[in-house]
Amino acid sequence: MENTRAFWGGLAFIILIVGVNAIMYGMVRSITHSSRKGTNFLESMGNMFNPSNQKKDNSMEELRQKIEDLNGGKKDNPPDSE
């Protein structure tokens, strides 16, 4: 009875360790092979654990686009001061 409990406990422990290692491997692999070029590993790691940065980046991108649209309209019709 004691041997079977030890066996099943050891087997569960081994499966747990292998599962956690597989998950961590997948996370690190996805970070290192990110779709965005020019980002370093630590920046990607920080972005993964803090998804609110992605929302801020999206809102800042929208703001930049609106500013470019507004500035683009002004550049098309420059005033003649002379």
The 3-class secondary structure across the chain, one letter per residue, is CHHHHHHHHHHHHHHHHHHHHHHHHHHHHHHHCCCCCCCCHHHHHHHHHCCHHHHHHHHHHHHHHHHHHHHHHHHHCCCCCC
How many Cβ atoms sit within 10 Å of the Cβ of residue 9?
10
Q: So what's the pLDDT on residue 2?
A: 73
Amino acid present at 44: S
Which tens digit of pLDDT belongs to each residue from 21-45? Answer: 999 998 888 777 765 565 666 776 6
pLDDT at 57: 67
Best CA proximity match to 53, nearest among 37, 39, 33: 39
Average pLDDT, the chain: 77
